[in-house]
Each structure stands twice: as structure tokens, then as C-alpha cells.
Amino acid sequence: MSSTIAIIGTGLAGLSAAQALTSAGQAVQLFDKSRGSGGRMASRRSDAGALDLGAQYFTARDRRFLETVQSWHNRGWVAEWTPSLYNFSDGQLSYSPDEQTRWVGTPRMSSITRALLGALPVTFSCRISEVFRGTRHWQLQDTEGESHGPFSQVIIATPAPQASTLLAAAPKLAGAAASVAMEPTWAVAMAFDSALDTPIEACFVQDGPLSWLARNRSKPGRDGKFDTWVLHASNEWSKQHLDLPKEQVIEQLHGAFAELIGCAVPPPAFALAHRWLYARPVSAHEWGALADADLGLYACGDWCLSGRVEGAWLSGQEAARRLLEHLR
């Protein structure tokens, strides 16, 4: 009987589980529908270098995650980002410094997941549509009709709405995942030929269409000739404009940015938009991970905890812990 464990999703949760399992001597096989790893921590390559379109930075509050981030730091995968931080509220822009340590992957956010993936066996561009159990093992079916397996256990490390259908063999787990609503975020990246005349490097936005802006180039290890910015629309605005064509999303968010930033904003040398359909869970949970250990089916992801990078990593660790505990 195969003892390989299938992991669906190569975001941080899936890779965290993979790391914990391989460190314990288990064999894993990863799958992702995308062409590369990282999920919501992915970075987009562009003429202006790599741009972090999803997670912008992360904080570490749990002791285990803190230690792990420290080890990533020692290996050069992450660095501290200390932007000149602002807040925009009630139409007012104010300088808003604080003591919070904020980490970013270096030279791009996806460096972390790329390093964690290393040489682990992975199949990209493979969207799993069904996870089913034969008499003694698990089998996966992808949307091209191809079958993958056999596997001894399966860890589903996708956003909750995608996990719920893959968890059909364990109705209780499927029900829990289905109860988690996730909200969208429109992200826009823009590159300007010359630097905008502003000291702002990051800004939390409390009202209007935007929720966040960051000067991508102010993060450690990002260089290049363009002044690059990443804008995130609020979940509310993103929901209301879910199907707006990308050019119009760029135009509207560029307009909101120009109004907010308080300096001349020329047309960008280039701009791109990305829609994150399942950007963040509406509320946090304290599940750690979902498990039916007798069946050998597990689910993890940021939605099992805090809806943040830290939550994704911790959830992957928890899925692996519960799986290994059952093997003992």
C-alpha cells in the first residue's frame, strides 16, 4: 500500500504541512492548480521586477512562528520592512508610526514558499476536482480527467470554498469548510517612470474604495528603475465591483490613489490588476486544522485560524501534527 501523503495546495499552509511531514520522514506529493507555488503569497513578475500582489507583509505573534521566521531570516528568505507608515481616515492623511515588526519575503514575497517547496515533488497546473477513497487508499481526480494516486492520506490546503467540495468524503469537515465565507480583494500594481513626490511607503486606508497602499520598491531587496506601488481595494468595494473589467478597476483605483496621496500622480508606465476571489475569511476561527484521522483526510489553511500568513503556517503545522499523531 502507498504511504505517500497527497497535499492539495502549495500556499504557505500546504508547504508548512509538507515541511513538517517530510522532517518526520514521510513522503509527500503536492498539487496546485496554478503554474507556481505561493497561493496568496505569490508575486507577479513584471517589467518593473516582481510585485507582491497578495500578502504585503506579515507579523509573528505565536512563539513557534516567531522562531521559524527567525530561521528564515538567518537563511536570507525574509527581511524586516520598516516603511514610513501612514493612516488615512475621515479624509485625513496622517503619519502613523508604530513598534510592530513586519516581515517580507526577500527579494519577493514568493521567495519564502519557493524555498519551502525546494525539491519536493509537485504537479503544477493541476486543479483537483475530486478526492475519493478506494478500499484501502485515496485517489485524486483532476479537471482534465486524470487520476492521481494511490495515497495513504490527503491534506487539502486550499481556501475554504474550494476545500468544501474536495472534502465530500467527510461530510462533517465539508460542512465546517462550507460555513466559512471568504471575501474578495481587487489588487492593482502600478509602475511610474519617476518617483512620486511623497514620503509615504505604506498606508492603511479606512474609507473610500482603497484599504491599503504600499510602495513595493520600499521593501528590502526590490530595486529597478520604476517607482512601483500596490493598491488593495476594500473588501466592500471589491465585492461591489467583482466583475468590473480590469482596465476599469485600474482606472478607478488609480483615481482614488491620486486623490488620497496628495501629490501629482502621472499616468503609470504600466499597470496590472488581479482579483483575489477568496482573499480573506470574514471571521477568524480557532480550529487549528480539520481532521478525520480514521479516514485519513485533513484540511488546513489560514481560514482555520487568523486569516493571516501566520495562521496559514500554524494551520499547516497542526494538520501535520494530527496526521503524525495518528500514525504513532
Residues near ligand FAD (CB under 6 A) are 8-14, 31-34, 39-41, 54-58, 127-128, 157-159, 162, 185, 187, 232, 276, 279-280, 301-302, 307-309, 311-312
Q: Is position 97 annotated in a ligand binding site?
A: yes
Q: Is position 62 annotated in a ligand binding site?
A: no
By three-state DSSP, how is residue 90 classified?
A: coil
Q: Is position 143 annotated in a ligand binding site?
A: no
Q: Is 280 in the site for ligand NAI (CB under 6 A)?
A: yes
Q: What pairing do the DSSP bridges indicate for beta strands 227-233 and 270-281?
A: unpaired
Q: Is 182 in the site for ligand NAI (CB under 6 A)?
A: no
Q: What pairing do the DSSP bridges indicate for beta strands 28-31 and 122-123?
A: parallel
Residue whose cell numbers read 465530500: 168
Residue 100 binding partner per list ligand FAD, ligand NAI, none, with a CB distance cut-off of 5 to 8 Å that depends on partner kind: ligand NAI
The β-bridge partners of 92 are 89
Q: Is position 136 annotated in a ligand binding site?
A: no
Secondary structure element (H or E) that encloses residue 182, with its range: strand 182-192
Query: What's the grid cell of residue 178?
Result: 462550507
Nearest CB to ligand FAD, comparing residues 265 and 304: 304
Q: What pairing do the DSSP bridges indicate for beta strands 270-281 and 182-192?
A: antiparallel
Q: Is 185 in the site for ligand NAI (CB under 6 A)?
A: yes
Q: Is position 22 annotated in a ligand binding site?
A: no
Alpha-carbon gap, residue 169 to 80, rounded angstroms: 42
Question: Crossing angle, helix 309-327 and helix 12-23, to 10 degrees?
Answer: 30
How far apart are CB 200 and ligand NAI at their closest, in Å? 12
43, exposed or middle or buried, with CB in 10 Å at 0-12, 13-18, 19+? buried
Residue 8 binding partner per list ligand FAD, ligand NAI, none, with a CB distance cut-off of 5 to 8 Å that depends on partner kind: ligand FAD
The amino acid at 146: E
Alpha-carbon gap, residue 33 to 123, rounded angstroms: 8
Residue whose cell numbers read 521567495: 111
The residue within the footprint of ligand NAI, chosen from 17, 160, 189, 279 (CB under 6 A), is 279
Q: Is position 56 annotated in a ligand binding site?
A: yes
Q: Is 285 in the site for ligand NAI (CB under 6 A)?
A: no
Q: Is position 214 annotated in a ligand binding site?
A: no
Secondary structure element (H or E) that encloses residue 193, with its range: none
The residue within the footprint of ligand NAI, chosen from 90, 98, 223, 294 (CB under 6 A), is 98
Alpha-carbon gap, residue 181 to 235, rounded angstroms: 12
Alpha-carbon gap, residue 189 to 272, rounded angstroms: 5
Q: Tell me the per-residue interface mask from 48 to 87 with ligand NAI, x by CB under 6 A, - otherwise.
A: ----------xx-------------------------x-x
Alpha-carbon gap, residue 164 to 177, rounded angstroms: 5
Residue 85 binding partner per list ligand NAI, ligand FAD, none, with a CB distance cut-off of 5 to 8 Å that depends on partner kind: ligand NAI
Q: Is position 298 annotated in a ligand binding site?
A: no
Cis peptide before 107, with omega less than 30 degrees from 0? yes
Query: What's the grid cell of residue 191?
Result: 509602475
Nearest CB to ligand FAD, comparing residues 196 and 314: 314
How far apart are CB 33 and ligand FAD at their closest, in Å? 4
Residue 200 binding partner per list ligand NAI, ligand FAD, none, with a CB distance cut-off of 5 to 8 Å that depends on partner kind: none
Which residues belong to the annotated binding site?
13, 32-33, 40, 56-61, 96-98, 128, 185, 302, 308-309
Binding site for ligand NAI (CB under 6 A): 58-59, 85, 87, 96, 98, 100, 185, 204, 232, 279-280, 307-308
**Known binding positions for substrate:** 57-61, 96-98, 185, 308
